[in-house]
Amino acid sequence: MEAKQSETKTPKVFRGNNKSSIIQVIMNSNMLEVHTTLPEGVTVSETKYGNGLFATKKFPKDSVMFEPEYFEVEEQDFDYVVFIKDPNNGNKTYRIECNSIVNGVYIGNNIRQIFPFTGLTNHSCEANCWPISEDKEKKTFVGVATRDINAGEEITMDYFNFDWDCSDRLIENCQCNSSFCLGRVDGFKYLPIEEKKKRINLVADDILIEWVNECGWNPENPADNLTRECVIYDVLQNFCPPGIEIIENNDFNLVATKFFPKNTLVLSNKSVFVPENIIIIVRVGATNKWLDTNDLCVKRGNSLLEYFGFDSFMERSNDPNVKIVYRSDNSYEKISIKDIYPGEKLTCSNEGFPPLEIAEVLTHSKSEYNK
């Protein structure tokens, strides 16, 4: 995307701790200059939008295309210049005028990220490159091909996956020509629910956190939760008790990692009570999952669901190997009712849930899952 004109200011710059950094950020006559080098297989060329990135070799699907650095600046509107050396074109150096709003990404907390060469990547609603594995300490990420990309093809990214609200650099009429084109590009915030759901395992963690900050479940005002988009983002790493892990095998399941003799404690946990219209996103390892609340939560009446965190992935069975025993409205234990061996799925029945009064439910609905 092309830079727009703005008053030049001196921004405060925050660099990563990458000891092998190949970018330089300097001030020259009150203009911020960024110097970097393109990776193998990538070049810069003109497009109908301005500059863009293009492949100079074939990148097979799922291959790593580049591992670029970025830096952060205090949020403000300023112009800067990027000098990009291109080893794929006789070490030609491109001088590209950029703008912090047009070419950067706002991530909240008055901070905007600047991407020296990947900031030239244009949007497509059917992008062929996916940014993953962000290292916030080094300020790097990995760009992976979402399909085979041939030499000469433009490299594109889906702005919806890393911009919560880009209405300040709105694309009113997207011309990506994809059959999936949404027409208007203004950020993940404005996507319909079904479009958000499609992207849930592609979207950046920062975007999910912004979603929770703006639309998070409010336990202090239960009625408000029933009339608006309401979200929980639950990061489940290291949440399982000893002897249990979450595994992915087509779907997620709880599996024993040690032997549990009959009639022993398998786990203790606390549930929360949430409105039936809740959207629950869980993260296990590197995977985000849009929880099927009809299947993985329990309906408790009064338009409320009981959500169990990591224990949501215990499979229901007519021949279970654990039983549930409630110690209070939202505190329970699961006890083995037969010997359970390492590698065996943990299963329970749909029985054993006590009736609850609405006042008691709301008292115990705490915001511990808004991570």
What structural domains does the chain harbor? 13-203 (2.170.270.10), 216-364 (2.170.270.10)
Find the Cα–Cα–Cα–Cα dihedral 211, 212, 218, 224, rounded to 10°.
Answer: 10
User: Greatest CA separation found in the chain?
Assistant: 75
Long-range contacts of 226-229 (CB under 8 A, 24+ apart): 226/275, 226/277, 226/303, 229/193, 229/279
Q: How confident is the model at residue 355 (pLDDT cuts 50, 70, 90)?
A: low
pLDDT of residue 301: 79
For residues 238 and 254, what is the distance between their CA atoms, to the nearest angstrom? 13
Q: How confident is the model at residue 77 (pLDDT cuts 50, 70, 90)?
A: confident
Is it the case that residue 354 has pLDDT exceeding 80?
no
Is it the case that residue 366 has pLDDT exceeding 50?
no
pLDDT of residue 229: 80
CB of 143 closer than 8 Å to CB of 65: yes
Across residues 7-17, what is the average pLDDT?
74
Q: How confident is the model at residue 363 (pLDDT cuts 50, 70, 90)?
A: very low
For strand 298-301 and strand 322-326, is the pairing parallel, antiparallel, or unpaired?
unpaired
Q: What is the mean pLDDT of the chain?
A: 86
pLDDT of residue 151: 97
Across residues 86-108, what is the average pLDDT?
88
pLDDT of residue 9: 57
Cβ-proximal residues to 198 (8 Å cutoff; 6+ apart), any chain: none
For residues 121 and 297, what is the distance between their CA atoms, to the nearest angstrom? 41
pLDDT in tens, 296-329: 888 887 788 899 999 999 999 999 999 999 998 8
Q: Is 340 exposed, middle or buried (0-12, 13-18, 19+ CB in 10 A)?
A: buried
pLDDT of residue 360: 45
Q: Which candidate, 287, 195, 273, 201, places its Cα nearest to that of 232? A: 273
Phi and psi angles of residue 161, each rounded to the nearest 5 degrees, phi first: -80, -15
pLDDT of residue 371: 37
Based on C-alpha coordinates, what's the Rg of the chain?
A: 25
Is it the case that residue 103 has pLDDT exceeding 90?
no
Instruction: Tell whether pTM > 0.85.
Output: no
pLDDT in tens, 218-253: 777 766 777 778 898 988 866 789 999 999 877 899
Q: Which residue has the higher pLDDT, 290 or 287?
A: 290
pLDDT of residue 368: 41
Is it the case that residue 256 has pLDDT exceeding 80?
yes
For residues 295 and 290, what is the distance between their CA atoms, to the nearest angstrom? 12
Q: Which residue has the higher pLDDT, 10 or 127?
A: 127
| Beta-carbon-side half-sphere exposure of residue 353 (alpha carbons within 13 Å) | 18
Q: In what order do the strands lie in the sheet with 31-37?
A: 24-28, 31-37, 79-86, 92-99
Structure tokens at 296: 């993985």
Is it the case that residue 81 has pLDDT exceeding 80?
yes
pLDDT of residue 112: 87
CB of 145 closer than 8 Å to CB of 132: no
CB of 178 closer than 8 Å to CB of 160: no
pLDDT of residue 37: 93
Task: Please report, for residues 69, 128, 145, 179, the alpha-carbon distance to residue 154 in angstroms, rounded to integers and kept in the order given.
Answer: 20, 9, 12, 17
pLDDT of residue 190: 94
CB environment 210-229: b (16+ within 10 A), e (fewer): bbbeebbbebeebeebeeee
pLDDT of residue 238: 63
pLDDT in tens, 146-163: 999 999 999 999 999 988
